[in-house]
């Protein structure tokens, strides 16, 4: 069996994987990208709408334009990539074994480090348990996006979208642009799940109804979907007396994303239920030494710019690990009141730390309180918070210097 050797193997050629590979290479180490699709770029390639790159490139780009900018740098640096190649296993050890399968056959890559950057997948009908028949015409929003934007296929004419996640909102606008009728977006929560700008630009601008605190409770149709029943939820209970019917020939599901972690689990990486991704320390390393994680495989991000930023930081940490550098001490990090999770799960008091967290409440004029062992070290005012938008916080070493000599300091983030 053919074997290759690199300092680092990056599994996944999307924004996170490419950013990590670039930083590792710039620091003098060899890196290779393994990508199952035929091009680098990941999900960006099917996102033909604009709005990407405002943080990373200080201009507004489409998904393919953003992917091209980053992949051009990958090529300029001479970073090799195995395309149309699937990683079937990651064997842990002092030297990792990455088992790969491609059109040309199977091969092994041996490496001292691995970066998990496989992205995420969509939750489907089975995850949310919509009752009713099982006719044709039910798609996840991302699949419909690929069919339309990549394959040039329009799966239907009249749509109902379940869930107000960003992909579903963007697809509502995309379908309207090509002459399809979007009957409504149905959201089970009392607040939207997508970014505010997408609610305005994709629904309000096209006069598409958004039914909050509603659920699809039945699907009608034998061979092809014909209609769905929509029921309001009042104080947590379905009010079937107010159920109404929406005719449609397609039902799109935009009901959340799940980090793609089958490979991670098989490699013995610890997965945390708070965000369904690997638990990582201050250096973005998992419980398996030399195995790192970043991007949507770690936790689902809002903006690709944040994915690239996290991938770049991870690449720098990989290079430090290959140089034999490691933090002497790390603090535990925990999510406090009204915060679902904080990534990473450790803090390094000797350097700058960047944290991502997901709020659990919708509120104007909120306060983020940061404590070490119940001593407040910093407070931040937030004009508006909601679960669909991550909070990013950077702490300098002087912020973490106030731990007071405790033997086991804990850094906690809370919202009020």
Q: Report pLDDT digits (tens) over 187-221.
A: 999 989 888 889 999 999 999 999 999 999 999 99
Q: Which two tokens stand for residue 199?
A: 């609610």
Q: Report pLDDT digits (tens) over 36-85.
A: 999 999 999 999 999 899 989 999 999 999 999 999 999 999 999 999 99
- pLDDT of res. 403: 64
- CA 416, CA 152: separation in Å to the nearest integer? 47
Counting residues of the chain whose pLDDT is more than 70, the rounded percentage is 99
Query: What CATH number corresponds to the domain at position 59?
Result: 3.50.50.60
Q: Report pLDDT digits (tens) over 339-348.
A: 999 999 999 9
- pLDDT of res. 405: 59
- The b-or-e profile of 91-108 (16+ CB within 10 A means b, else e) is ebeeebbbebeeeeeebb
Shared domain for 246 and 139, answered yes or no, is yes
Average pLDDT over residues 157-173: 95
User: Which pLDDT band, with edges at 50, 70 and 90, does 295 fall under?
Assistant: very high
Q: Which residue bears the tokens 């309000």?
A: 204
- DSSP assigned state of 136: B
Structural domain including 312 reads 1-122+257-326
Shared domain for 72 and 218, answered yes or no, is no
Shared domain for 160 and 251, answered yes or no, is yes
Q: Report pLDDT digits (tens) over 382-412.
A: 999 999 899 999 999 988 876 655 667 899 9
- pLDDT of res. 260: 95
Domain endpoint, select from 304, 326, 348:
326
Shared domain for 250 and 130, answered yes or no, is yes
Shared domain for 70 and 11, answered yes or no, is yes
User: Which pLDDT band, with edges at 50, 70 and 90, does 292 fall under?
Assistant: very high
Q: Report pLDDT digits (tens) over 126-142.
A: 888 888 888 999 999 99
For residue 80, give the nearest of 141, 33, 37 by alpha carbon. Answer: 33
Shared domain for 342 and 322, answered yes or no, is no
Shared domain for 83 and 139, answered yes or no, is no
Q: Are 325 and 331 in contact (CB under 8 A)?
A: no
Listed range (181-185, 310-314, 327-331) with the worst mean pLDDT = 327-331
What's the number of domains the chain is made of?
Answer: 3
Domain endpoint, select from 326, 358, 380:
326
- pLDDT of res. 354: 96
- Work out the mean pLDDT of the chain and round it to a whole number: 94
Query: What CATH number corresponds to the domain at position 352?
Result: 2.60.40
Q: Which residue bears the tokens 């979907």?
A: 225
| Alpha carbons within 13 A on the beta-carbon side of 275 | 29
Shared domain for 30 and 99, answered yes or no, is yes
- pLDDT of res. 151: 95
Q: Is the pLDDT of residue 15 over 60?
A: yes
Q: Which two tokens stand for residue 221?
A: 């149709």
Shared domain for 265 and 182, answered yes or no, is no
Shared domain for 261 and 249, answered yes or no, is no
The torsion angles phi and psi of 112, rounded to 5 degrees, stand at -85, -25
Average pLDDT over residues 24-38: 97
Q: Which two tokens stand for residue 26?
A: 């710039």
- pLDDT of res. 359: 96
| Confidence (pTM) | 0.93
Q: Are 199 and 209 in contact (CB under 8 A)?
A: no
Q: Are 23 and 45 in contact (CB under 8 A)?
A: no
Q: Is the pLDDT of residue 243 over 70?
A: yes
CA-based radius of gyration for the chain: 22
- DSSP assigned state of 285: B
Shared domain for 301 and 339, answered yes or no, is no
Domain endpoint, select from 206, 235, 255:
255
Shared domain for 283 and 216, answered yes or no, is no
């Amino acid at each position: 069996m053919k074997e290759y050797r690199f300092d680092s193997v990056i599994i996944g050629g999307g924004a996170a994987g490419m950013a990590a590979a670039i930083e590792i290479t710039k620091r003098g180490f060899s890196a290779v990208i393994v990508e199952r699709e035929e091009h680098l770029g990941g999900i960006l390639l099917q996102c033909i709408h604009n709005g990407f790159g405002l943080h990373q490139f200080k201009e507004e780009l489409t998904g393919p334009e953003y992917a091209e900018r980053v992949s051009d740098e990958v090529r300029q640096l001479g970073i090799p990539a195995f395309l149309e190649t699937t990683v079937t296993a990651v064997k842990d050890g002092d030297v990792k074994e990455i088992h790969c399968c491609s059109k040309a056959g199977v091969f092994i890559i041996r490496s001292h480090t691995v970066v998990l950057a496989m992205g995420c997948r969509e939750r489907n009908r089975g995850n949310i348990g919509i009752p009713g028949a099982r006719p044709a015409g039910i798609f996840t929003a991302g699949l419909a996006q690929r069919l339309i934007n990549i394959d040039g296929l329009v799966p239907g004419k009249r749509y109902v979208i379940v869930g107000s996640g960003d992909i579903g909102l963007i697809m509502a606008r995309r379908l309207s642009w090509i002459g399809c009728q979007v009957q409504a977006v149905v959201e089970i929560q009392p607040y939207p799940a997508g970014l505010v700008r997408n609610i305005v630009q994709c629904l309000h601008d096209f006069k598409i109804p958004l039914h909050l605190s509603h659920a699809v409770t039945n699907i009608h149709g034998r061979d092809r979907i014909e209609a769905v029943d929509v029921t309001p939820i009042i104080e947590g209970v379905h009010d079937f007396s107010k159920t109404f019917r929406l005719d449609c020939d397609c039902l799109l599901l935009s009901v959340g994303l799940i980090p793609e972690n089958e490979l991670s689990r098989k490699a013995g990486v610890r997965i945390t239920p708070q965000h369904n991704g690997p638990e990582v320390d201050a250096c973005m390393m998992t419980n398996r030494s030399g195995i790192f994680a970043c991007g949507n495989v770690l936790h689902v991000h809002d903006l690709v710019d944040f994915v690239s930023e996290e991938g770049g930081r991870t690449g720098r940490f990989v290079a430090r690990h290959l140089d034999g550098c490691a933090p002497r001490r790390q603090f535990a990090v925990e999510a406090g009141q009204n915060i679902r999770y904080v990534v990473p799960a450790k803090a390094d008091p000797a350097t700058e730390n960047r944290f991502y967290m997901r709020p659990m409440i919708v509120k104007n004029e909120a306060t983020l309180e940061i404590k070490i062992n119940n001593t407040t070290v910093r407070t931040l005012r937030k004009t508006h918070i909601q679960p669909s938008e991550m909070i990013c916080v950077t702490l300098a070493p002087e912020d973490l210097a106030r731990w007071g000599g405790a033997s086991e300091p804990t850094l906690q983030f809370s919202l009020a």
